[in-house]
Structure 1
Amino acid sequence: MPEATDGPAYLVVRNSEEQHSILAVGKPLPKGWQPAGFEGSKTACLEHIDAVWTDLRPLSLRRSLA
């Protein structure tokens, strides 16, 4: 089934460990998650995450290894 293109449907969100996910627009943010500044179709949001979340290790692990 093709995706609807009539407007944003998803929001990219990020937690304090800099892990990313998507959330349907209009849904309440889960505790600990904040908007990451990108909104669009599911495909566009996932492509954005692929582009910006290049190190999948949690922030606390990256800091401990630095």
Structure 2
Amino acid sequence: MFDDDREYTVVINGEEQYSIWPVGRDVPAGWYEVGTRGSKDICLEHIKEVWTDMRPKSLRDRMSAPTS
């Protein structure tokens, strides 16, 4: 195993799914930085705290919509 001393940023997409991305590299299309940066461990801990429902936003919306 190698030491990963890179800095990462937490990113989110339109479906409110989270990931991490190395700082200094262009964030892929459709993904946006949320403002949390740091080591991989710090970023993953942030995601663990905020991403409590792993379902994509479109599915959550569909499941919470009133039925006719």
Quick check: TM above 0.5?
yes
For 1:25 and 1:3, locate their aligned partners in 2 and report how far apart those are by CA, in whole Å. Answer: 13
How many pairs does the alignment contain? 63
What's the TM-score, normalizing by structure 2?
0.86
1:43 to partner: Cα distance: 0.4
Note the residue ranges of structure 2 that are not aligned, 5 or more in a row: none
Q: Paired residue for 1:61?
A: 59
- Structural RMSD (CA): 1.3
What is the aligned-residue identity percentage? 51
Per the alignment, in what secondary structure is the counterpart of residue 12 of structure 1?
A: strand
The answer to whether residue 28 in structure 2 is matched with residue 27 in structure 1 is: no
Cα displacement string for residues 10-39 of structure 1 (whole angstroms, at most 9, x for unaligned residues): 000000000000000001010100001100
Note the residue ranges of structure 1 that are not aligned, 5 or more in a row: none
Per the alignment, in what secondary structure is the counterpart of residue 18 of structure 1?
A: coil
The answer to whether residue 19 in structure 2 is matched with residue 18 in structure 1 is: no
For 2:58 and 2:38, locate their aligned partners in 1 and report how far apart those are by CA, in whole Å. Answer: 29
Aligned-partner residue type, residue 36 of structure 2: F
What's the TM-score, normalizing by structure 1?
0.88
Larger Rg: 2
